[in-house]
Amino acid sequence: MTAETTARPVDAEELRRRTAELLAAHPPATTERLDFLRARFAAGLAWVHFPEGLGGLGAPRALQAVVDEELAAAGAPDNDPGRIGIGLGMAAPTILRYGTEEQRQRFLPPLWTGEEVWCQLFSEPGAGSDLAGLATRAVRDGDSWVVDGQKVWTSGAHKSRWAILIARTDPDAPKHRGITYFLCDMTDPGVEVRPLRQITGEAEFNEVFLTGVRIPDSRRLGEVGEGWKVAQTTLMNERVAIGGNRIPREGGMIGVAAADWRERPELRTHDLHQRLLRLWVEAEVARLTGERLRQQLIQGQPGPEGSGMKLSFARLAQEISGWEVEFLAEDGLTYDSWTHTGSDVLSFTGREAGYRYLRAKGNSIEGGTSEVLLNIVAERVLGLPSEPRTDKDVAWKDLPR
């Protein structure tokens, strides 16, 4: 990079210029998809808010839209973000914040291009809302850690090359202090992935059994015993990823229900009409609340509203999809298929009403149950006192399980 280009401020105009350069050097029509994505990463146009040398230019995050628009207009391939959501939304920000320079250089480029897919090994059968109670053990053995345990609710485990993993490294410490964060190789022979069939009939998630999995200490992220702190970066991004995007009016589940109402006059009743109107108002207000939050963020005045958006989203998705099944009457009695294998990209508004109804049940559980989120709002936003706890200062091994 020349002195001239680094001296320029990275504003929208500069990003357009650099995007044009990228397109000129690697015309999408004659460049292999992967070659183009690698070139884009090298040019710092992958995620412009990331540092230089790691796919970004240290530019304001909002300017990513400028690059995306220019590239889309030129017919350039994207990195299929729906397929690598956990890598982009959860692993990447955590590796950026806590990774060594070597880890960042090793993992971020193929993560962004999609050459390496990531999954998350956090929840366990015995550690859901109380994630810090997790029991998967990692024992130091020379330059490695040996990991044994069981993880659950892992999406895309069978397609993933890497996983972000938290495991207990010190059972004698209180539970939040004995956890360490690792990057786990999913091709290791001790990793066994079993599909977990859910109430929709499909297996969107997996159980992952870890038996004597050896992880080199060089794939530890953050300090030993600091894993809980590192995981907060990951989890904060997950909660926002579910329910925080800008949508047009009738853009979500309510749009499907409203379309049903317009198309099926023979099914209308006064009761369903009244309930639909209430839901429509609530969905529109939830949309506006998300929009207001977005505007606050752009102005650099973040509000605590984000903590609540997922609560609204989950409740509305459930109520609206329940309304829809009832509205459809005889059609609501049927289900498209209990053996559906599912697609790579999850869509809450996809498939038929029965699927949407059942899938929405997960919205108030995944990424933090609504009950836990209400506690978070009450304690962190409203400043209400926490419940008395008996598990905070006790060695993890002495806690009842």
Partner 1 sequence: MTDQQTLADATASELPEGPDLLYSEPEDDLRAAVRSLLADRGGPAAVLAELEAGRTHDAALWRSLATDIGAAGLLVPEKLGGQGAGPREAAVVLEELGRAVTPVPYLTSAVLAVTALLGCDTGQDEVARLLAALAAGERIGVLALPLPTAPAGPLEPPVRAGADGALLGTVASVADAAAADVLLVPVRAADGIELYAVDTDAPGLHIETVTPLDLTRPLARVTFDGAAGRRLAGSDRAGAAVRRALLTGAGLLASEQLGIAEWCLTELVEYTKQRHQFGRPVGSFQALKHRMAALWLEVVSARAAARNAADALATDSADAPVAVAVAQAYCAPVAVRAAEECLQLHGGIGMTWEHPVHVFLKRAKSDEIALGAPGRHRASLAELVDLTAP
Choice among 124, 202, 238, 319 that is catalytic: 238
CB of 389 to partner 1, least distance (A): 11
Strand partners, 208: 151, 193
CB of 56 to partner 1, least distance (A): 11
Q: Closer CB to partner 1, residue 84 or residue 293? A: 293
Angstrom distance (rounded) from CA 196 to CA 206: 5
Q: Which residues contact 123 (CB under 8 A, 6 or more apart)?
A: 131, 151, 152, 153, 154
Inter-CA distances, 117 with 44, 108, 189, 194, Å = 21, 11, 18, 18
Q: Closer CB to partner 1, residue 197 or residue 273? A: 273
Stretch (H or E) spanning 120? strand 118-121
Whether 238 sits among the annotated catalytic residues: the reply is yes
Look at residues 126, 193, 185 and name the one whose alpha carbon lies nearest to residue 155. 193
Q: Closer CB to partner 1, residue 301 or residue 390? A: 301
CB of 274 to partner 1, least distance (A): 7
Q: Closer CB to partner 1, residue 105 or residue 337? A: 105
Look at residues 62, 57, 61, 75 and name the one whose alpha carbon lies nearest to residue 17. 57
Q: Closer CB to partner 1, residue 40 or residue 239? A: 239
CB of 112 to partner 1, least distance (A): 14
Q: Is 167 helix (H, G, I), strand (E, B) or coil?
A: strand
What Rg, from alpha-carbon coordinates, does the chain have? 23
Inter-CA distances, 354 with 5, 71, 75, 178, 274, Å = 55, 38, 37, 43, 22
Q: Is 136 exposed, middle or buried (0-12, 13-18, 19+ CB in 10 A)?
A: buried
CB of 284 to partner 1, least distance (A): 5
Catalytic residue numbers?
238
